Chains A and B, each alone.
Chain A
Amino acid sequence: GEDVEQSLFLSVREGDSSVINCTYTDSSSTYLYWYKQEPGAGLQLLTYIFSNMDMKQDQRLTVLLNKKDKHLSLRIADTQTGDSAIYFCAESSGSARQLTFGSGTQLTVLP
């Protein structure tokens, strides 16, 4: 079945770049997503990439997709303390294009 994997923790210094990695298994996924969840809050859609793209840039966010290795990454440039949160990678699959989520990566930004 579908499976999405992420590392659990990442710490970076304020002002550095953060790179959060994700691997997925469903080659039929049409869209791959990154969501952000702050403590006590819902899931905020950050960005997504269509499966026929290699890269997408949106302000400080860059998404890279390697379809051959089924590897997705999210780069956050100039990371700020407000970026501290849990970041979820998700693939859409199935008849309803429901989302299968990774376990989330806890990003901690150190001053």
Chain B
Amino acid sequence: DSGVTQTPKHLITATGQRVTLRCSPRSGDLSVYWYQQSLDQGLQFLIQYYNGEERAKGNILERFSAQQFPDLHSELNLSSLELGDSALYFCASSEGTANEQFFGPGTRLTVL
């Protein structure tokens, strides 16, 4: 158990819908990273927050957004969902930005 929690574990929704994925980092970790794992793209970095502020963006679509709250939990919002958004979404946390990242169990999103 990495200490990082993600909810829900599974999510099934329809095209055009909007969903919110939630992540709670390990106690004391200030950084939260979001990654997407899909069959065709592999594991890709989406976005990072540090102590409530966005620090870096990767291959994140404009339909996707995230935030980190004062209690340090983070949410990833995915809107206008398409079939190609079906993937595993991982959250990882680290103490800072130069430390090892610990991954949550992931949320499996299926868009029908």
Give A residues with C-beta under 8 Å from B. Answer: 30-31, 33, 35, 41-45, 48, 88, 90, 92, 94-104
Contacts and interface: CB of A to CB of B under 8 A. Distances in A.
B52 interface: no
Q: Which of B2, B43, B97, B100 has the most CB of A within 10 A?
A: B43
Contacts of B48: 96, 98
Contacts of A30: 98
B56 A95 contact: yes
Contacts of A94: 56
Interface of B: 2, 31, 33, 35, 42-45, 48, 50, 55-56, 58, 90, 92, 97-98, 100-106
A100 B43 CA distance: 8
Contacts, number: 59
Given A42-B2, A45-B100, A99-B45, 7 more contacts: A42-B105, A88-B43, A94-B56, A95-B55, A96-B97, A99-B43, A104-B43
B58 A98 contact: yes
Contact of B2 (A44, A97, A99): A44
A41 B105 contact: yes
A101 B33 CA distance: 14
B106 to A, nearest CB: 5
Contact of A101 (B43, B97, B105): B43
Nearest to B9: A40
Given A42-B105, A48-B100, A104 B35 contact: no
A43 B90 contact: yes
B56 to A, nearest CB: 3
Given A95-B55, A95-B56, A100-B45, A42 B97 contact: no
